[in-house]
Structure 1
Amino acid sequence: MNQALNGKRVAILATDGFEESELSVPRAALQKEGVEVHVISPEGKGIRAWAETDWGDTYEADKALADANASDYHALVLPGGLFNPDELRLNENALSFVKAFFRAGKPVAAICHAPWILINAGVVKGRKMTSVPSVAQDLRNAGVNWVDEPVMVDNGLVTSRTPKDLDAFNAKLLEELQEGRHSGQHA
């Protein structure tokens, strides 16, 4: 356990259709380091994972989005999958929640298709990011310098491509969480 991370709280925002490993693996890595993790879903109910090629397990939510406040957390994790970010990028409450982390300069970590949420939140222009290749053009169109790397960090914004990059993603997430607020993080 990392003493510097003890007492930190991280929100994971997701809904049905998140890529299972992109929630479960970062959550386990954070908890192993003593970080308190809350899974937040729009309704506060259990959410069903997508496990590579079929529906996976249901994960209980700790809070409903309406009851979650970004000021209660030190960082935000956005798992990918195809269905989850497509749903959340159209949810105004989710977009407001995401923007609050950026306005406060807090670390945000997004993997796979999750940058779609960041595009709709209007927080990516001028950033250097990565994602699953199918989202690359969307990011470029939103003003991002897209790179094909396992992980990219830009002033507290951590992005990765796919589940195969989770080790690098988790390492940078923990590093950014330990560093705390980033003045270059912006909404």
Structure 2
Amino acid sequence: MLQGKTIAFLVAPEGIEQVELTEPWKAVEQAGGTPRLISTQPGKAQAFNHLDKADTFDIDATADQVSAGEFDGLVLPGGVANPDNLRMDENAVRFARSFFDAGKPVAAICHAPWTLIEAGVVGDRALTSWPSLRTDLTNAGASWTDQEVMVCTNGPNTLITSRKPDDLKAFCQALVENFGG
């Protein structure tokens, strides 16, 4: 369970795949944890259902206002535009990397590992992702596999990855199990 744990969800202001934000968010809440939405800009984050605009979500803080020390884990939702925008923001990349430096668990789904590539933390790790990231991940030193969820404990922290929205049940289960430790 995640009782008493605070989990950061790092997103760009636009381009999050809604279900990849809302399902893990609900899983954290149902396990007794407190999710907080972190972004690169204050205000609201615009989510999408694939290419169609969906709901907006209030941002709790920006990546330059918080540190990994305030959280017990990090979730990186996917969508194509979301991690593409995050990897271009120095504060977002630094925030993501700081969870690895602190030995805290990280979960990333779909295209989200792009942010981790930019943070320089995927080398010698076993990951899965949306299939189009395979070459990017292997070029960054990761071992890529095509399965619904991958839990990698090689390194100072646990890294959980999944491929797509269809994998959310397994992703959320692995997240709750590994973030509760």
In which range does the TM-score fall when normalised by the shorter chain? over 0.9
Match of 1:183 in 2: none
How far apart are residue 175 of structure 1 and its match? 1.0
Counterpart check, 1:59 vs 2:57: yes
Q: Distance in 2 between matches of 1:44 and 1:118?
A: 22
- Counterpart of 1:182 in structure 2 is none
Q: Which residue does the alignment assign to 2:66?
A: 68
- Conserved 8 A contact 1:38-1:62: yes
Q: Deviations over 1:81-115 (max 9, x none)?
A: 01010000111101110111001110000000000
1:150 aligned residue: 148
Q: Size of the alignment, in residue pairs?
A: 176
User: Quick one: which of 2, 6, 9 aligns to 1:9?
Assistant: 6
Q: What's the CA shift string for 1:108-158, capped at 9, x where partnerless?
A: 000000000000000000100000001111101111110000000111100
Identical residues among aligned pairs (%): 47
Alignment partner of 1:12: what SS?
strand
Unaligned 5+ residue runs, structure 2? none
Contact 2:149 2:161 in 1 (8 A): yes
- Runs of 4+ in structure 1 deviating by more than 2 angstroms, as ranges, are none
SS in 2 for 1:67: coil
Residues 27 and 37, structure 1, Cα contact 8 Å, conserved in 2:
yes
Counterpart selection for 2:88 from 72, 87, 90: 90
TM-score of the two chains, using structure 1 as the length reference: 0.92
List alignment gaps of at least 5 residues for structure 1.
Answer: 180-187
Q: Per the alignment, in what secondary structure is the counterpart of residue 55 of structure 2?
A: strand
Q: Tell me the distance in 2 between the aligned counterparts of 1:44 and 1:31.
A: 23
Aligned counterparts of 1:91 and 1:150: Cα–Cα separation in 2 = 28
